[in-house]
Amino acid sequence: MNRTDPEGAIAAAAARCSNAGRWGADDVLGTLNFLDGAKRVEGARLVRRGAVFSLAQPFDASGPQNGWRRRTNPVHTMLDTGLDAERGQGFPHGLGGADDVVFMPLQCSTQWDGLGHIFDHGTAYNGRRAGEVVTSEGDQVTGIETAAARIAGRGVLLDVGSVIGEDGELPDGFAITTEHLAATAAEHGVEVGRGDLVCVRTGRLSRARREGWGSYAGGPAPGLSFTTADWLHRTEIAGIATDTWGFEVRPNEFDEAFQPLHQVAIPHIGLFIGEMWDLDELAADCAADGRFEFWLTAAPIPFTGAVGSPVNPIAVK
């Protein structure tokens, strides 16, 4: 890989990995097309104990965001409280109520990137012009609502942090390669294939939990190597998520770059990418019972026209 030519590398990977047109000119689902009913039936059979895991971080003012690019943490405020109820709110027969509102960037915490989130030279997924897809009124073609009833299927955990890292964690700047992914899957005894939802644990969130957020949101991190683009394409997975803010390794593997793997994965592969997922409790359970596959539901809130969405992914084993 030529560290000095990200543009060339991106163009080459895009040419090799593009799914543009694969599901027709009108397609808005990208790799979610790989996730079909048969895969869901397969996934549901993985429920053996009924053990359930939320893969979401807490959504609150203590989160990782620091205001960069106007990304704040969620600000949750009350319209009414129990204190108001005790004082009296004007309702009859002793009824009292509490109600609340939130302001939040849609990608401030555990999330899915929508297909309108990233463009390559002004081109969005499936060869559309970026400016025809996402205007100030939102993503008018591939808004996250198009994925509202899709993301439930077989989940696979690849705990690269535990298999490859030390004490369960990879260091910042560690680029996870196809070889690392394969070695982890082999160690876990799982296979990754068409229609799967892959969760890659790096251990970065475990470290943030221990040491504080620091630059968790937007800073250095372990993550997928740019060289995994072909694997992401070839495996025909439906989606992939990590416990880091940005999915791919940071700093990136070119001298001057910003999220080059996104530039291939989203507009060309049409891949659904999850970020800031909390995989620690699930990973501990998988290590304990030796089963790294599970039923996973990760349904975005269908904000019309959104280019991403908060999500509370639920794994059941």
Closer Cβ to a copy of itself, 165 or 294, answer by number: 294
The CB-of-213 to a copy of itself minimum distance in angstroms stands at 11
Residue 264's CB: how many other CB atoms inside 10 A? Answer: 30
Which residue from 20, 21, 1, 22 is spatially nearest to 10, judged by alpha carbons? 1
Query: Whole-angstrom Cα distance, residue 269 to residue 114?
Result: 13
What distances in angstroms separate CA 239 from CA 27, 167, 307, one per listed residue? 16, 27, 15
Determine the residue type at 44. Answer: A
CB of 64 to a copy of itself, least distance (A): 11
CB of 182 to a copy of itself, least distance (A): 28
Nearest distance, CB of residue 218 and a copy of itself, angstroms: 12
**Cβ distance to a copy of itself smaller for residue 120 or 196:** 120
- Angstrom CA distances, 121 to 174, 200, 260, 290, stand at 27, 28, 12, 44
Nearer to a copy of itself, 139 or 169 (CB): 139
Please state the closest distance from residue 103 (CB atom) to a copy of itself, in A: 5
Least distance CB 240 / a copy of itself (angstroms): 18
CA distance 37 to 16: 28
Note whether 139 and 308 are within 8 A (CB).
no
Q: Are 306 and 143 in contact (CB under 8 A)?
A: yes
Q: How far apart are the first and last CA of the chain?
A: 40
**Is 16 or 49 the residue whose CB approaches a copy of itself more closely?**
49
Q: Specify the residue, 165 or 303, whose C-beta has the smaller distance to a copy of itself.
A: 303
CB of 156 to a copy of itself, least distance (A): 17
Cβ proximity to a copy of itself, 85 vs 163, nearer residue: 85
Give whichever of 113 and 159 is closer to a copy of itself, judged by the CB atom. Answer: 113
- Cα angle, residue 195 at apex, residues 161 and 282 outer, rounded to 5°: 35
Examine residue 251 and say whether the peptide bond preceding it is cis (omega within 30 degrees of 0).
Answer: yes
